Structure 1
Amino acid sequence: MNGTFAFELPLMHITFGITFLVAARWGERSALYFGIAFLCNAAGFGLPVMPMGLSDLTVAWVTDILFAVSFFFFGQAATQHFGAPRRLLWARLATCAISIALCIYAVVGLDDLHMELLASDAGCVLLLGLAMVGIRWQGLRSFDWVLFVAAWFVTIESVIRGTSSFFTAPSSVEDFGTSQYAYFMQALGSVLGVVFAMAGLSAVALSVLDRYHKMAMDDPLSGLLNRRGFEEALATRPDWRGRPASIVTCDIDRFKTVNDRFGHATGDAVIEALAAILRTRLPEDGIAARFGGEEFLLFLPGRTPADALRIAEGVRTAIEAEAAETVGMDGPITASFGISGVVASDFSVHDAIGRADAALYEAKHGGRNRVALRLLDTVEPETAARSAAPLVALERRTGSRRRSA
């Protein structure tokens, strides 16, 4: 084997393997699998040049095992990182075992190098290829494409190398080290190893950053955005400006009583149930956030206050009908809502949030479990009349139902 490749290639893969194992401490399981795979690759490339006194036949079948295990874990890394279904796991385990058995039989039983290389390369192709075919490329994030393409290059390279082994590999194991096959395997192992490793490291690092960013923007209990996430979502959605938009604020009624009577675990379950109802009733382009405690907010671009009131009333009735049963409480769970439209004179959306909060305060003091509206005094009278008439009527009907109940 070429002296430069023989020693540099194992060291390169050891470096990559250790780097991935360090990255696995960030909580990325795929990095652990990448690390194991590269370390097995390093052992596979390094074993033939290590002065261990092993026979060529022993080195051959042990190396085949290392490469098979390596590609199995490469496939595991891809499956884990891309979130592919694991239904092919047992097929890949069986492929790994069959490939190893065929390699050992070809070396020990037949002394047939071509058969051994074909079994080894075919096994590597299937071990990584079966994992890759389960990946839905349509849903890949932008920074995952490099890893996706690199993995397919490694798979294709194994196919080409395996099919060319009849022309580039010698007939005996003893002559393997000086063959064209060995040279191409090391050369391509160096180039594609670097590309694959760098793509994997980049994808793992960016995935970790994406996860931490999501953790910073999402409320862990409800699964909705938190305040910071809400602000960022608005900043990335400038298309709502210049169109009608509305704010709905929501607060769970007597939430402290729920915590005191049933415990904080039940209180958490109530928040989760309410968040689930908000998600199901939220328009596709809407934004839902938990602003803290039992307070929630909906941003509804393209919706007038009349639209917002209908949505809020639907959420209110769903909470009243479903939430208590969902969490197993024997008492009712209700929520109050405040609504305001976003108008051109607002300095920021927080002006509309302030008005919606004031409306929510009115709903609380008006009997709870109801929807209230706050409009700007600066709105043109005829515009205000057209917008407010159906809202006030519905609010009055809602309030009458509460009083008669």
Structure 2
Amino acid sequence: MNGSFAFELPLMHITFGITFLIAARWGERSALFFGIAFLCNAGGFGLPVMPMGLSDSAVAWVTDILFAISFLCFGQAAAEHFGVGRRWLWWRLAICATSIALCMIAVIGFDDLHAELLASDAGCVLLLGMPLLAVRWKGLRRFDRWLLGASWMVTFESVVRGASSLFTAPGQVEAFQTSRYAYLMQALGSVCGVIFAMAGLAAVALSVLARYRTMAMTDPLSGLLNRRGFEEAIIDRPDWRDRPTSIVTCDIDSFKAVNDRFGHMAGDAVIGALGAIIRGRLPEGGIAARFGGEEFLLFLPGQSPAQSLRIAEALRATLEAEGGRAAGIDARITASFGVSGAVVSDYSVHDAIGRADAALYEAKHGGRNRVALKLFEAVDQAPAQRAATRTPSAGCQASSTRMSA
């Protein structure tokens, strides 16, 4: 093995390993396994050139153990990152143990380097390749595709290296360090290791950023978007003018009384229960958000006011029937709803939100626990005039429809 480079390669993998372990503190589980894997790799590459007084056989089987654990962790890192979880974990643990056992038999029992390398490389291929088989390319984010491609590259590199061992490795374990196989392992390990590590670090970092962005856009109590998340979401939905679109606003009735009687934790549970009910009945393509306190909003593209009225009534009835039980309190929980349709002449979605708020106000003052509808009366206005005169009730036709409790 090349002297100076033989020391640089372990140091490079140690650096990658420490970097991933630091990244693991951000809460990304895959980074922990990446870190352990690269540190084991560093030991596997560095042990043969370290003056530790060990026999060649001892160095060989310890190195095989380190590489097997390394690829087991690489596979688990990929499984964690791509959401595969623990699929085939027990099989991979069995493969890891079998690979190590076969390597030890080949080294200690027969001094057969070819058999040792084939057992080691085959184990590495299976340990990393098996989780990758469960990952589907379609639907992956760009940086996840880079990581998946780099993972398959490392798997293929292990296949090529293992197949070449019959021609590049000597027959005895003692001659390994000066063999062409050792040089090939160094060269491929450096190139593929850097690409794999860079892809892994990018995927982990971007995944952490995406998670924090989601947390910033999501209300933790209801599991729905918060106000900022809603504003971001509708920016990506400019087609609402091209098809029927409705807004539903919601406000939990007498929410302060719930907090006063049962405590704020119970109030949080009520918000969570309503959030779960909304998520369960939200039509495909709909956007739901908690705007603050006990106020909720649904943006329903493709739904007419009449359809949205039925959706709101279903939410109202479900909350009344199940809300208290779902929140774990002995109380009847109700909410009032306002519905309005968006029209082409609206200056923005907030015009329709204003009308839905006005309908909600009518539902509240009409006795609560009901749904009210407010329709738009078309008026031909210039955009500047509409912007100047826009109010929650501007251009609205007072049409309140009670959906009785």
* TM-score, L = length of structure 2: 0.92
Amino acid aligned to 1:295:
E
1:243 aligns with 2:243: yes
Deviations 1:347-386 (A, max 9, x none): 2222221221121111111100011122345459xxxxxx
Residues 133-282 of structure 1: pairs in structure 2 closer than 5 A: 133-282=133-282
Residues 374-385 of structure 1: pairs in structure 2 closer than 5 A: 374-379=374-379
Aligned to 1:46: 46
**1: CA distance, partners of 2:378 / 2:115:** 85
Q: CA shift at 1:239, angstroms?
A: 1.7
Q: CA shift at 1:37, angstroms?
A: 0.5
Aligned to 1:344: 344
Aligned to 1:86: 86
Aligned to 2:124: 124
Amino acid aligned to 1:337:
F
5+ long unaligned stretches in structure 2: 381-395
Q: Which moved more, 1:66-75 or 1:306-315?
A: 306-315
Deviations 1:43-67 (A, max 9, x none): 1111111111221111111111111
* TM-score, L = length of structure 1: 0.92
Q: CA shift at 1:175, angstroms?
A: 1.3
Deviations 1:75-125 (A, max 9, x none): 111111111031311111111111111111211111111111111111111
Q: CA RMSD in A?
A: 1.8
SS at match of 2:5: helix
- For the Cα contact (< 8 Å) 1:125–1:155, is it kept in 2? yes
Q: Which moved more, 1:220-229 or 1:48-57?
A: 48-57
Aligned to 1:65: 65
**1: CA distance, partners of 2:330 / 2:207:** 43
Aligned to 1:320: 320
SS at match of 1:285: coil
Amino acid aligned to 2:217:
M
**2: CA distance, partners of 1:20 / 1:324:** 46
Aligned to 1:111: 111
- For the Cα contact (< 8 Å) 1:84–1:136, is it kept in 2? no
Q: 1:242 to 1:137 in 2, by over 3 A?
A: closer
Q: Which moved more, 1:360-369 or 1:340-349?
A: 340-349
Aligned to 2:390: none
Q: CA shift at 1:198, angstroms?
A: 0.5
- For the Cα contact (< 8 Å) 2:16–2:35, is it kept in 1? yes
Amino acid aligned to 1:182:
A
**1: CA distance, partners of 2:377 / 2:126:** 70
**2: CA distance, partners of 1:83 / 1:258:** 39
Aligned to 1:283: 283
**1: CA distance, partners of 2:59 / 2:242:** 72
Q: Which moved more, 1:209-218 or 1:2-11?
A: 2-11
Q: Where do 4+ consecutive residues of structure 1 move more than 4 Å? A: 377-380
- For the Cα contact (< 8 Å) 2:376–2:397, is it kept in 1? no
Q: CA shift at 1:277, angstroms?
A: 1.4
- For the Cα contact (< 8 Å) 2:355–2:374, is it kept in 1? yes
**2: CA distance, partners of 1:110 / 1:45:** 23
Aligned residues: 390
- For the Cα contact (< 8 Å) 1:26–1:208, is it kept in 2? yes
Aligned to 1:384: none
1:97 aligns with 2:97: yes
Write 1 or 2 for the structure with the bigger share of helix: 1
Amino acid aligned to 1:319:
L
**1: CA distance, partners of 2:232 / 2:328:** 35
Aligned to 1:354: 354
- For the Cα contact (< 8 Å) 1:335–1:370, is it kept in 2? yes
Tell me the percent identity: 74
Amino acid aligned to 1:264:
H
Deviations 1:104-150 (A, max 9, x none): 12111111111111111111111111222232333422220011011
- For the Cα contact (< 8 Å) 1:306–1:388, is it kept in 2? no
- For the Cα contact (< 8 Å) 1:253–1:368, is it kept in 2? yes
Q: CA shift at 1:5, angstroms?
A: 2.7
- For the Cα contact (< 8 Å) 1:17–1:38, is it kept in 2? yes
**1: CA distance, partners of 2:173 / 2:85:** 39
Q: Which moved more, 1:210-219 or 1:317-326?
A: 317-326
Aligned to 2:306: 306
Aligned to 1:17: 17
Q: CA shift at 1:242, angstroms?
A: 3.3
**1: CA distance, partners of 2:189 / 2:322:** 59
Q: CA shift at 1:265, angstroms?
A: 2.2
**1: CA distance, partners of 2:240 / 2:377:** 23
Amino acid aligned to 1:131:
P
Amino acid aligned to 1:100:
I
- For the Cα contact (< 8 Å) 2:340–2:355, is it kept in 1? yes
SS at match of 2:357: helix
- For the Cα contact (< 8 Å) 1:168–1:181, is it kept in 2? yes
Aligned to 1:367: 367
